[in-house]
Every structure is written in C-alpha cells, then in structure tokens.
C-alpha cells in the first residue's frame, strides 16, 4: 500500500509556472510597464477610464491580439520582408533623432534686440510701397482710326483737359467726367481709379498710366495727355502716399516666430552634422545618377516616416 501511494504521488503534475508580467502570448510576456503605458495612452485626458477590472481585461485583450498577430507574422517571416525592414529602420532613425533633439534641446533665448536686428535686416520685406489715388477721363480712339481722326480725338481730349483743369471743386470735376468719359467703370464715380501702387501693372493697369500718375507731385495736378491702345486719358492726382515701413510693434510676434524657426532649423543642421562625425560616408555617384525617377504608374508608396520624426539627410 505504501508503494502504491508513493507511485500515485509520482504521477501528480507539477504546478504551472506563474505568468510573467500581466500576460504571456506564445511565451512572450506583456510586462506591467508595457500595459501601464498602453493604458495611459488610451486613457488620454480622461483619467476616469479603466477603473474597473472589466475595462482593464478588455484592454489587455487588445494587447494579446496584437502580440498574437506579431507572433504569427514572425513565424511566417513577414518581418523579414525588405519593405518591413525599411519601415523598422526608418522608425528607429526617427525615434533616435527625436530623442537626440530633445536631449540637446533647451529654451532658445531670443531677446528683443535679436528681433529688432531681424526687423532692420529685412526692412524691404516690410516696406509698404508708395501709393497714388487718381481720377481719369477716357476718350477712346479706334485702332483703325485715320491720322485725321486721331488728330481730332487728341484735340478734343486737349479741350477736355483744359475744362477739367478749370474746375474749382470735386463736384464740378465729377460733372466733366460724367459728360465726357467713356470709361464706364469710373464715369459715374468721378473718374475714381482708387489707390494704386507702382506694381499695379500686375493688376492690368497700363504702365504709361502709372508712370504719368506717379510723376505728379501735388494733389489736384493733371498729367499731360496719356495715349494708350485704349485711347487718350486725362489723369488727375487726388492723393498720394509715400513709401512707409510697417512698425516693429505690429510685427514683433511674427518676427519672433520666424527667428525661433530659424534657430530651430540651425540646431537641427548642427545635430545632423554631429551625428555624422566619426562615420565614413561614401556616395556611389554613378549608381545614383543612373536611377530613373518614379513613373506615374508606380503605385507602391515608400515606407512612411512616423509623424514627429526628423528626416536624416544623407550625403
């Protein structure tokens, strides 16, 4: 009997090995740290989540599903595909650069003096060009008009110019415009051209008109008759503004952003330069030059670089 009892005890199974971490999938542990990080990510700004066992169990189920997919992928050799290896490489590169950037980063000190220096160095960028406010009277001349008809049209325009110069106020000038002008866009608003700059040719205004208007110095002055393909113009200067520079106070925060971005880009360049130190880097120029650019039929996109990473520039 004692022998039988001893034999029976020998047949008992050893107790299972305790689970390492929170769970195991195919012998790979899901650590407490990994689960906690995942839970914090999923909770986001809602600390009230995952307070009961059911929620935690469901979240762990997601991690188990992920680990199971990873195990099967490795077993099938999926992780050894060149495109997958390239994605892994890009991820490591991105995360490492992000870590190095944070390690080397510090608050970029930018003083008001730095901002003012940038402002003065880029004054042309912040210059508001001179502007002129004009009025016009247009008398059209047909492209097929004879020399005699052109002479008659110029004579008529000369009389209109004299009549316009003789007006004593804006109302009288407006009446002359309405009586003679053939420019329908401005005829019933005193010939008003609005404010224009010397770059107004980009808006379709003929350069000869702009030059004649900006040649006038005093509001109320009239230009000599201006002949263009459209006809002959009577031009009057209503107002004029000299060039000016936008004030520093108005631009300060915009400049702060630009200077900060400039400093960040410089720091990134310095980081890349430091990472290349001590490494032998050689380029096979003939091979590089022989590579054909992607065609429109190339549908397969290259492995993406995760957001937030820096892109390493290779020589």
Mean pLDDT by runs of 10 across the 315 residues of the chain is 52 71 89 91 85 90 92 92 93 88 72 94 92 95 91 95 94 95 93 86 77 94 94 95 94 94 88 88 89 73 48 38
At residue 102, the pLDDT reads 77
pLDDT score at 297: 65
- Please identify which residue in the block is written with the tokens 């110029």: 154
CA distances from 87 to 93, 249, 275, 288, 306 (A): 10, 47, 21, 22, 9
User: In angstroms, what is the C-alpha Rg of the chain?
Assistant: 40
User: What's this model's pTM, rounded to 2 decimal places?
Assistant: 0.51
């Amino acid at each position: 009997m004692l022998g039988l009892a001893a034999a029976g005890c020998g047949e008992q199974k050893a107790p299972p090995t305790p689970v390492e971490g929170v769970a195991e999938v195919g012998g790979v542990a899901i650590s407490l740290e990994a689960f906690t990080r995942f839970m914090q990510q999923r909770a986001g700004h809602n600390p009230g989540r995952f307070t009961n066992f059911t929620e935690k169990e469901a979240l762990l189920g997601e991690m188990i599903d992920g680990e199971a997919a990873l195990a099967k992928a490795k077993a099938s050799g999926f992780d050894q595909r060149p495109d997958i290896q390239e994605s892994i490489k890009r991820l490591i590169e991105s995360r490492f650069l992000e870590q190095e950037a944070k390690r080397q980063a510090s608050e970029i000190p930018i003083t008001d003096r730095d901002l003012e220096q940038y402002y003065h160095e880029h004054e042309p960028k912040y210059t508001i060009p001179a502007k002129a406010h004009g009025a016009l009277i247009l008398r059209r001349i047909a492209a097929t008009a004879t020399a005699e008809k052109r002479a008659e049209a110029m004579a008529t325009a000369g009389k209109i110019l004299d009549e316009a110069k003789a007006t004593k106020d804006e109302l009288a000038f407006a009446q002359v415009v309405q009586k003679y002008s053939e420019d329908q866009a401005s005829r019933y608003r005193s010939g008003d051209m609005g404010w224009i700059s010397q770059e107004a040719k980009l808006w379709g205004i003929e350069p000869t008109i702009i030059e004649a208007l900006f040649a006038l110095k005093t509001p109320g002055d009239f230009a000599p008759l201006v002949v263009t393909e459209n006809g002959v113009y009577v031009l009057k200067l209503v107002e004029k503004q000299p060039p000016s520079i936008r004030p520093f106070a108005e631009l300060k925060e915009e400049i702060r952003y630009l200077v900060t971005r400039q400093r960040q880009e410089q720091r990134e360049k310095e980081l890349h330069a430091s990472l290349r130190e001590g490494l032998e880097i050689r380029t096979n120029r003939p091979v590089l030059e022989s590579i054909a650019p992607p065609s429109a039929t190339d549908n397969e996109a290259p492995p993406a670089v995760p957001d937030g990473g820096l892109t390493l520039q290779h020589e």
